[in-house]
Amino acid sequence: MSYQSIQQLLKTAPVGTTVTVKGWVRTKRESKNAVFIALNDGSTIHTIQVVAQPGQLPEETLKLITTGSCLAVTGQLVESQGAGQAVEVKIEDVTVYGTADPEKYPLQPKRHSLEFLREIAHLRPRTNTFSAVLRIRHALAFAIHKYFNDNGFYYLNTPIITASDAEGAGEMFRVTTLDAIKPPLNEEGKVDFSQDFFGRETNLTVSGQLEGELGAMALGKIYTFGPTFRAENSNTTRHLAEFWMIEPEMAFHELEDNMNLAEDFVKTVIRYAIQHCADDLAFLDNRLKEEEKTKKKEEQSEFGLLEKLQFVISNEFVRLTYTEAIDILVNSKPAKKGQFQYEVKWGVDLQSEHERYLVEKHFKKPVILTNYPREIKAFYMKQDPDGKTVRAMDVLFPGIGEIIGGSQREDDLDKLTARMHEVGIEPEALWWYLDTRRFGSAPHAGFGLGFERLVLFVTGMGNIRDVIPFPRAPKSAEF
Ligand code: ATP
Ligand code: MG
Ligand code: MG
Ligand code: MG
């Protein structure tokens, strides 16, 4: 029989058959009656117990079987007498693929702090917490592709090295060649980009949106799902320098359709995770509950992880304008008592503390805010007739604040170019983008979901560095 993962085996192998299991040792316990070894191969949160009789394994072999070592075990699958597992494997044959020196192996059979695990990010996927997070991350990625495929969207790959700064926020990583930066530089002592391979300044993409719009204006409905880079020199728990973004873009959609899609989309993918990651979510829920117990009573969260997920999928999202939200916030208790760290004022972007207040305290529902002041949003958003606001939308979640940012796009060529001039973007530089407005312009809309913000929410983890396998952020960029 071909080799089965522990996950498949626990689901399908009948008691009494001979099986082979392979994996890494989590714990080894020797008693008078037997040696118990817990093996995990990463396919599931569960370990499988393999059991040897005392004296069955040579002393030299037993010594090599340490926490972190890798084994293949063949034996009969039998009902387990012990508590905690239904079945176990009676060892008939063991191969030690690789041992792990207990003096040097950093992962011990105990719960390590997340801070410590961040220092050994290369090994942390071997822990229950991180393997659960990574399996949920996988399931969400799959659910996202499935959602769009089921709804008639085409997956479009947009450039990673690009000349455009879609957001205009100046948070870009410059990409160049060694030839361009080696002396002699140009007369002003600056990098000579004309010597570069591309012959112009290029950057790592901050968003695939502008190219995504080209796709929508040809294929109707597209989505991107790719890496995005922002030189965010901030140490928040919600920002990474390299993250993954999902950006659907739809022709013939206005702001209202965009909101409907965003709400249906996030609810559907979260429902998928609840259905397909029950064991991992139960583990993380439990982990979170234990962590809460260590906090002071007044700081403990009233919701468990699963309740938080229910909160999103079972509530209709509240929709209101930025201006209405500012009214609420200005008249809120924290604003009056001066408890917000940042001031709330019409015209200023909201901070996560304000967004969370609206969701967690005021409405007690997920929120979609619309029609933000044009000055704080990107140039491409459709202008409202009042000339002050644009048809933007941000979706706000508990514990996180902004999870999605989107808008209906400006489809009027004159308005768009006038706005570009105002914010200092040379329309010539984006001539290809403006062609979508020159030739067969149409109403269209789209949004961006930060993948890690979604994974953060669904796993209940507290720090975005803990939901990506190889975090890149200030002070965490080992790879
Ligand atoms: P924020 O206000 O949180 O900085 P933003 O408004 O700058 O986010 P957008 O340009 O609207 O972000 O990008 C769309 C989405 O990408 C955001 O709603 C968020 O989910 C995600 N996102 C933005 N910046 C980051 C980052 N540095 N790390 C991880 N996700 C991010
Ligand atoms: Mg930002
Ligand atoms: Mg924002
Ligand atoms: Mg935004």
Strand 202-204's sheet: what is its strand order? 161-162, 202-204, 174-175
Which residues, by Cβ under 5 Å, contact ligand 4, an ion?
405
Q: How far is CA 247 from CA 25, 62, 134, 299, 390, in A?
A: 41, 52, 21, 35, 19
Cα–Cα distance for residue pair 307/149, rounded to 1 Å: 29
Distance from the CA of 162 to the center of ligand 3, in angstroms?
22
372 near 420, Cβ under 8 Å? no
In a domain, 179, yes or no: no
Q: Is the ipTM beyond the 0.90 threshold?
A: yes
Domains: count for the chain: 2
User: Tokens for 322?
Assistant: 């930025």
Return per-residue pLDDT of the chain as tens, 479 residues: 578 999 999 999 999 999 999 999 999 999 999 999 999 999 999 999 999 999 999 999 999 999 999 999 999 999 998 888 899 999 999 999 999 999 999 999 888 999 999 999 999 999 999 999 999 999 999 999 999 999 999 999 999 999 877 776 778 998 988 877 777 666 777 777 777 777 888 899 999 999 999 999 999 999 999 999 999 877 889 999 999 999 999 999 999 999 999 999 999 999 999 999 999 999 999 999 998 888 888 888 778 999 999 999 999 999 999 999 999 999 999 999 999 999 999 999 999 999 999 999 999 999 999 999 999 999 999 999 999 999 999 999 999 999 999 999 999 999 999 999 999 999 999 999 999 999 999 999 999 999 999 999 999 999 999 999 999 877 765 66
Closest ligand (CA of 468): 1
CB neighbours of residue 179 within 10 Å: 10
Distance from the CA of 59 to the center of ligand 1, in angstroms?
56
Q: Which DSSP symbol is given to 381?
A: B
CB neighbours of residue 441 within 10 Å: 17
Residue 121 CB less than 6 A away from ligand 1: no
Residue-level pLDDT at 331: 97
Which residue type sits at 258?
A: N
CATH of residue 337: 3.30.930.10
Helix ranges (H only) for 57-177 are 59-64, 114-119, 128-150
Q: Does one domain contain both 259 and 223?
A: yes
In a domain, 201, yes or no: no
Element (H, E) at 37: strand 35-40
In a domain, 67, yes or no: yes
User: Phi first, then psi: what are they for 221, rounded to 5°?
Assistant: -130, 120
Element (H, E) at 420: helix 413-423
In a domain, 117, yes or no: no
In a domain, 116, yes or no: no
Helices 255-276, 451-459: inter-axial angle, 10-degree rounding = 50
Point out the ligand 1 atom lying closest to the alpha carbon of residue 448: 14
Range of the domain at 333: 126-171+206-466
CB neighbours of residue 264 within 10 Å: 12
Q: Does one domain contain both 91 and 135?
A: no
Long-range own/partner contacts, residues 427-434 (CB < 8 A, 24 or more apart): 429/163, 429/164, 430/164, 430/210, 432/214, 433/164, 433/210, 433/213, 433/214
Q: Measured at the alpha carbon of residue 391, what is the angle toward residues 390 and 397, in degrees to the nearest 5?
A: 115
Residue 452 CB less than 6 A away from ligand 1: yes
Residue 448 CB less than 6 A away from ligand 1: yes
Residue 450 CB less than 6 A away from ligand 1: yes
231 near 241, Cβ under 8 Å? yes
Residue 262 CB less than 6 A away from ligand 1: no
Q: Does one domain contain both 166 and 19?
A: no
Distance from the CA of 288 to the center of ligand 4, in angstroms?
28
CATH of residue 68: 2.40.50.140
Residue 229 CB less than 6 A away from ligand 1: no
Residue 247 CB less than 6 A away from ligand 1: no
Q: Does one domain contain both 368 and 221?
A: yes
Task: Identify the residue whose C-alpha is closest to ligand 1 atom 9.
Answer: 405
Q: Does one domain contain both 156 and 51?
A: no
Cα–Cα distance for residue pair 340/345, rounded to 1 Å: 12
Q: Does one domain contain both 355 and 407?
A: yes
Residue-level pLDDT at 3: 80
Task: Identify the residue whose C-alpha is closest to ligand 1 atom 4.
Answer: 239
Q: Does one domain contain both 221 and 84?
A: no
Q: CA nearest 250: which of 220, 214, 211?
A: 220
Q: Among 110, 145, 162, where does a domain finish?
A: 110
Q: How far is CA 479 from CA 235, 470, 473, in A?
A: 18, 7, 11
Closest ligand (CA of 450): 1
Q: CA nearest 406: which of 422, 419, 390?
A: 390
Task: Identify the residue whose C-alpha is closest to ligand 1 atom 3.
Answer: 402
Q: Does one domain contain both 104 and 136?
A: no
384 near 391, Cβ under 8 Å? yes
Residue-level pLDDT at 164: 77
Task: Identify the residue whose C-alpha is closest to ligand 1 atom 5.
Answer: 405
Distance from the CA of 405 to the center of ligand 3, in angstroms?
7
Global confidence as pTM: 0.95
Q: Does one domain contain both 238 and 300?
A: yes
C-alpha 161: how far from its chain's center?
22
Residue 167 CB less than 6 A away from ligand 1: yes
Q: Does one domain contain both 160 and 228?
A: yes
Q: CA nearest 19: which of 89, 85, 81?
A: 89
User: Tokens for 135?
Assistant: 């399996």
Q: Among 110, 136, 159, where does a domain finish?
A: 110
Task: Identify the residue whose C-alpha is closest to ligand 1 atom 31.
Answer: 450
**16: Cβ contacts below 8 Å, ≥ 6 apart:** 76, 77, 78
Owner of token pair 């190889």: 470
In a domain, 115, yes or no: no
Residue-level pLDDT at 167: 72
In a domain, 71, yes or no: yes
Distance from the CA of 97 to the center of ligand 4, in angstroms?
49
Residue-level pLDDT at 478: 65
Distance from the CA of 28 to the center of ligand 3, in angstroms?
49
Cα–Cα distance for residue pair 232/239, rounded to 1 Å: 7
Cα–Cα distance for residue pair 335/358, rounded to 1 Å: 12
Task: Identify the residue whose C-alpha is closest to ligand 1 atom 26.
Answer: 239
Point out the ligand 1 atom lying closest to the alpha carbon of residue 406: 11
Q: Does one domain contain both 366 and 456?
A: yes
In a domain, 275, yes or no: yes
Residue 230 CB less than 6 A away from ligand 1: yes
Q: Does one domain contain both 256 and 353?
A: yes
99 near 61, Cβ under 8 Å? no
